């Protein structure tokens, strides 16, 4: 990978969690494709395992990005909450952390539901 003469990092390397999110997306897509092609019965465990691991990777990526954003003091999320046509200002660090934690809780709950033993 070549870095420009300005010393700026390439856009793809802007987020520390990007590789984990890509792995999670590819794993979820591969599991979905395998599920469509094979049509497993209701007792098959591998689709739940594939999607559950993908959600665990999303949890890891969210936790990593939250740690990076809290450590730097600003968010790379660029979240704007507004009403109407004109864009509002960027949300504060507390609101951003609450959004990360809500997404982390939902992904963790989904992974737990998919990966827990049924019996």
Tell whether 2 is covered by a domain: no
Check: CB of residue 115 under 8 Å from CB of residue 48: yes
Residue 85 lies in a domain: no
Q: What is residue 12's predicted lDDT score, i.e. its pLDDT? A: 45
Residue 9 lies inside a defined structural domain of this protein: no
**Assigned domain for 25 exists:** yes
Query: How many domains would you assign to the chain?
Result: 1
Please tell me the pTM assigned to this model. Answer: 0.74
Boundaries of domain holding 64: 16-76+91-115
Domain contains 11: no
**82 in a domain, yes or no?**
no
Residue 67 placed within a domain: yes
Residue at token pair 């420009």: 4
Instruction: Report the Cα–Cα distance between both ends of the chain, in Å, rounded.
Output: 49
Q: What is the pLDDT of residues 48-94, one digit of tens each?
A: 889 999 999 999 999 998 888 888 777 666 666 666 666 666 677 78
Chain position carrying tokens 């960027």 = 90
Q: Would 84 be classed as within a structural domain?
A: no
Residue 53 host element (H or E): helix 46-72
Identify the three-state secondary structure at position 99: helix
If one compares 30 and 97, the residue with the highest pLDDT of the two is: 30
Per the prediction, the chain carries an average pLDDT of: 79
Q: What average pLDDT does range 1-28 have in this prediction?
A: 68
């Amino acid at each position: 990978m070549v870095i420009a003469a300005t010393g700026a990092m390439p856009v793809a390397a802007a987020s520390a969690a990007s590789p984990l999110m890509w792995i999670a997306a590819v794993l979820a897509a591969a599991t979905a494709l395998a599920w469509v092609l094979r049509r497993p019965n209701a007792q098959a465990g591998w689709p739940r395992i594939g999607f559950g691991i993908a959600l665990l990777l999303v949890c890891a990526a969210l936790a990593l990005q939250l740690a990076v954003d809290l450590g730097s003091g600003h968010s790379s999320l660029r979240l704007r909450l507004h009403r109407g046509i004109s864009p509002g200002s960027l949300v504060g660090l507390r609101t951003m952390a609450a959004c990360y934690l809500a997404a982390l809780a939902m992904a963790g709950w989904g992974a737990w539901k998919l990966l827990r033993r049924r019996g």
